[in-house]
Amino acid sequence: MNRVALVTGSSRGIGRIIAERLAADGFAVAVNGLPGDDGVPAGAAAITAAGWVAGAFPADVTDPGAVAGLVAAVESDLGPLSVVVFNATGPQPNTTLEEAGWPEHLAELDFFVKSPVLIGQAVLAGMRERAYGRLIHIDSEVADRPPPHRSAYVTAKAAQVGLARSWAIELAPHGITVNTVAPGFVPVERHVAVTPETRAAYRATVPADRLGTPADVAHAVSFLASEAAGFITGERIHVNGGRSIAG
């Protein structure tokens, strides 16, 4: 089977490490970010320099026309998509409830619900025809452990979890699995302010005596994208060192 993976928002951070891991696993990887983001061609070049297969595909994954063009370009250049990792994200400002109006909620929903819906609708016909697909959402532990002043972000992430679970039921008969990976605090994430106090506060609640890394997230994605995960769908893997079960 031709193994092609699209990782949205993979020009840097967790997305880039996921893209590199899937390339090492043998996938031809489509590296994605916004047009004009130098990390898109740089990420693809780094993967090909390592001897793997990748291409640069800049596109705004919240724009319907751009998504249609993105999927068409990836499948034309690399082949039919067998894996999509929904990782793209935007700014995540700290705002009070009074400041987090409907426009702020919509801005978060654009990335975590609208974008997966657009891409999903663009790839599902081909996946159904081939009776195979792996759709993997990167959500967040905040859906279970909401921090203060992040209500719009938390709401959108919770909606993303519901979206993935509903897809899993509908797509299971077609050989398409849908799962989510929920990272905890990973310091290299974009838009996350990392301070010594933040690190200390988080570490105090994590049974494992270290902070998470992008590679930890990529390991989980690698498994869910593999043939070995074919009988797993509708599941959510927390990658947070046990914080999800800590008191």
- First-last CA distance in the chain: 44
From the list 111, 112, 153, 185, the catalytic residue is: 153
Could you tell me which residues come within 8 angstroms of residue 31 by beta carbon, excluding any fewer than 6 positions away? 7, 10, 11, 16, 19, 40, 43, 44, 47, 54, 55, 56, 57
Cα 104 to chain centroid, rounded: 21
Handedness of CA 40, 41, 44, 49 (dihedral sign): negative
Phi–psi pair at 88, nearest 5 degrees: -60, 140
Residue 153 bears catalytic tag: yes
Q: Which two tokens stand for residue 215?
A: 């590679």
C-alpha distances in Å from residue 60, one per residue of 23, 57, 68, 119, 133: 22, 10, 11, 11, 23
C-alpha distances in Å from residue 53, one per residue of 24, 39, 82: 9, 17, 15
Secondary structure of residue 128 in the 3-state scheme = helix
Mark residue 36 as left, alpha or beta (left: phi above 0; alpha: psi -120 to 50; beta: remaining): left
Q: Please identify every residue annotated as catalytic.
A: 153
